[in-house]
């Protein structure tokens, strides 16, 4: 199943810079691993914001919840999820 996920990060302004840097490094490593195994298919930055738009390819809602809740920045995120399905007018065969 494909899911459109937006994640907006809201780190506390008083979080120590070294702590923020460590969490961001963990986040990057985890996100890149999920991309390598094909679970996190696309990842885009929203220009001008600490926010991303992503496409996840997972078995079901439960798997998505598990992956997202393991994100190191999860406690500091506003997340919106929309399930996706193939559009009948799509000319691509690899977007299911």
Residue 95 has pLDDT above 70, yes or no: no
What span, in angstroms and rounded, lies between the C-alpha atoms of 50 and 31? Answer: 15
> What's the predicted TM-score (pTM) here?
0.90
Protein fold of 2-84? Alpha-Beta Plaits (3.30.70)
Domain segments of the chain: what residues? 2-84
Residue 96 has pLDDT above 90, yes or no: no
Query: Exposure string (b/e) for 37-62, b if CB count within 10 Å is 16 or more?
Result: eebbeebeeeeeeebbebebbbeeee
| Averaged pLDDT of the chain | 95
């Amino acid at each position: 199943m494909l899911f459109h996920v937006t994640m907006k990060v809201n780190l506390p302004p008083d979080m120590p810079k070294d702590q923020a840097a460590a969490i961001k490094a963990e986040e990057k490593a985890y996100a890149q691993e999920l991309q390598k195994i094909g679970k996190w298919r696309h990842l885009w930055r929203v220009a001008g914001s600490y926010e991303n738009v992503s496409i996840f390819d997972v078995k079901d809602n439960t798997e998505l919840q598990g992956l997202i809740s393991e994100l190191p920045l999860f406690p500091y995120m506003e997340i919106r999820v929309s399930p996706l399905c193939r559009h009948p007018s799509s000319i691509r065969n690899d977007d299911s």
